[in-house]
Structure 1
Amino acid sequence: MTVNVLFAAMYERWKTYENPLKSAFSAAGLDVALSTDLPPEQVDYIVYAPNSEVQDFTKFTRARAVLNLWAGVEDVVGNQTLKIPLARMVDHGLTQGMIEWVTGHVLRHHLNTDLHVNGQDGEWRKEIPPLAEHRGVTILGLGTLGAACGTALARLGFDVTGWSRSPKDATGITCLSGEDGLAQALGTAEILVLLLPFTPQTENILNAKTLAQTPKGAVIINPGRGPLIDDDALLNALDAGQIGHATLDVFRVEPLPRDHPYWAHPKVTVTPHIASETRPETAAQVIAENIRRGEAGEPFLHLVDRSLGY
């Protein structure tokens, strides 16, 4: 039987996803009618991006699941019209891309690469970094991305601590949770990586109080979500020397406005939300597998817990 799949995302996404999705459906043995325009009452699954025009799900009376193209679901999880299962995107390409970006910037700050890249002025600056085993790296967030990045850094020899709201376990990482655990995790965070989801509980988790709990001169790396950081508090901590540098890939408003203080601050590196992007080829395989599962009566992968918001 033909399965009707609605692609509900911006048109430029359709151009990059159409062929990979069709190939993945074929490889999974699925007979799929894939379109950007289907009668709502005939839709079985929705491949979705939260900036889609589709915001009212009540019309999709036979739909079985919404399959998000992004890892983040904060812009859809609270939609009161969405009553069917919602799956977030967890795929190899997304995870590997994040590992590479995070590892690259952790090594950049660990080795103080900026000193030599930006200091080509004839001055012989011989500063020897410690070994990775003597560098404390803390990951806030031990979901799929955080655990993968932390494990990769641990394999390089870094002393990695991870913190999550609920208890977790990850290879090579000292795992902490709860309010006391957060203070402990921040206390060893010479390099602090933010990979938490954005929820009411995590908004401004880096604020004046928590920034002060990090070692003086700590580095902040944020490829997670912009609202995890109180921007004014971070700027004050940078100016005071409590934070040595911030490499930021995500922001409350994107693109980051041209007049935002981060652009001109000498201790801030801005990257344009490139830490990790959903790759159509690998994401299509994840979507096809979830549709195969739905058709076979098997549990969906990567379902969002509405009570937690991720």
Structure 2
Amino acid sequence: MLRMTPRERIGQAIVGGEVDRLPYCFWYHFRTEAWFPQALHAEYRAPASDAVLQQYIDGMSRATYEFWRRYQPDLLKVMHDIPYETPEGLPFVRTADDWAKLTPLEPDRGHFGAQIEMLRCLRAMVPDDVPIIETVFNTFYYANKLCEGKLLEHLALAPDAVQEGLRTIQANLQVYARYALTVCDGIYYAVNGIGADAAPRAVYVEYFAPLDRALLESVADGRFNVLHLHGYGELYADLLADAPAAIVCWSDRSTTLSLAEGKRLFDRCVMGGLNELELPKMCRERVFQQALDARDSVGRRGFILAPGCSVPTDISPEVLLTIREFALGA
């Protein structure tokens, strides 16, 4: 078989076609890097200065490009490490009334705009035959961060007030995700709250499943979209099993849903097979063993070798290069 480009290889994996070798992907956050602006280390904050945002644009695009150049993943997942932008005077959501203070955000202004400009810069650096996907965290993720991990408490005490804030966040994310598709090849939609470690099933069903489904439907034309189900232990994967996405990813080594079970449930391309919690300590033989086990459990078609979630930023480059080595020979 002729050698494929990364875009062709991932495209074939998505449709369950034959590939010249196993496609692979991995990613990590950049917030702990020395170049990363100190002012942007939080998950959310009031609008940063233009100078800080430009520092982020320059540093993040360059760091992501260097990451790609070193490891050559077939699918380049971009980290959304810039904080969610909150109004001046609202350091975090403390009371029920604070949810109404969240405001609409423009996708091409402020923090969202900086991320878009960074994506444009990155796209100009990376060859066109490498698909780039932008990370979008879901409403549960940001809402829980904004109230310092007390989202379930807020919902129990003031559900109507919280839902007003959820609608604002959701609208912002949907507009941003649609806009991001104009400068990249797909959306990596990270669904938080869809596991027993984060929220009861009934809470996710009532408040968040409709929001996640709505966002996925709004970007359904993204050819390389990834649905990531975040969590460890029990996942409510069945609730989004038919949601639109080209690829599904989850921590198959650390949840109750195995890679093979997920392949049957989602009936599409799956991405995973490597335990991101154990990878930093794995020797070459163990990486090969786990990768081979994953490939054999689902086959080469419709499969992208990857960790179930982000790996630590300080992971040894040798471990990541070992993943690449396996894929190049598989």
- Relative to the length of structure 1, the TM-score reads 0.32
Give the number of the structure with larger relative contact order, counting CA–CA contacts within 8 Å between residues 6 or more apart. 2
Larger strand share, 1 or 2: 1
Q: Which has the larger radius of gyration?
A: 1
